[in-house]
A = this chain, B = another copy of it.
């Protein structure tokens, strides 16, 4: 298959580029820890040119389409958010372009904003592409959790991203484990399913900060082994994330397969049907969908 365009996911800590065929197959990949926070504003064309030089030498210029934080204030060019409900067409119609060193242009897809069920504003950059990709796999309406540092609980309805909300599951886990008393003086941690599920049950049932301290007291009471504290905290936070989600019949978990296992255990415990879909697969299907709109050559 012929290499015909490049899809880029440029985030704050990582740069990832995918060499794509017209049929949406990924032929090659370039990944570097060259997040946009390490790039000065005026250096973006130069840095990008160096990052994909391997492909430029072989294929010359190829159309480039980018998504993620590269379109934020801290990125190459700020691209205004499209307000949900938002379809693939809506995103394709709000693409902005930037100048490459070669004199050609590259395209940046906008993020999506919304007001969530609690009346709070929400923003995403990058995940909207995964949701469009997921809609190509599933067909029809769906609920999805794009889990991670800032987990997105999203609803796709009538061909559009209808609404979503953010839960800081990954980040809160990280700071509790690394910076709070709950993570202090622990031996090497092992995952324990029963302990994790105990956390899930308590986290789903009670106000979060009223039960967090039990990660310490259960240990003092020898009811949780001190090598399973991380598993318990993960359970509390994932249970808490499902506080409002367990009204759903089926959930799609989007992310890397190995990180999905804790969410999967929690959903099995609640008897909620689910599928795990690879995050990169969703991203590339979403980018291919946007690319296929033809807008890429028109700006």
Binding site for B on A (CB under 8 A): 118, 120-123, 150, 165-169, 171-172, 175-176, 178-181, 202, 205-214, 217-218, 220-221, 223, 237, 240-241, 243-244
Q: Which chain B positions have C-beta within 8 A of A176?
A: 175
Known contacts: A176-B175, A237-B209. The answer to whether A217 contacts B120 by CB under 8 A is: yes
6 interchain residue pairs of minimum CB distance: A120-B214, A166-B213, A121-B217, A208-B208, A207-B243, A121-B221
Which of A123, A169, A212 lies at the interface centre, i.e. has the most chain B CB atoms within 10 A of its CB?
A212
Complex Cα spacing A150 to B258, Å: 34
A210's partner among B165, B178, B202 (CB-CB below 8 A) is B165
Complex Cα spacing A35 to B207, Å: 32
Query: B209 and A172: CB pair below 8 A?
Result: yes
Least CB distance from A257 to B in Å reads 24
Known: A169-B209, A207-B244. 5 other contacts (CB 8 A): A118-B211, A121-B221, A167-B213, A171-B181, A207-B243
A118's partner among B168, B179, B202, B240 (CB-CB below 8 A) is B202
Q: Which chain B positions have C-beta within 8 A of A178?
A: 179
Complex Cα spacing A267 to B209, Å: 19
Least CB distance from A111 to B in Å reads 11
Query: B180 and A210: CB pair below 8 A?
Result: no
Q: Which chain B positions have C-beta within 8 A of A168?
A: 180, 209, 212-213
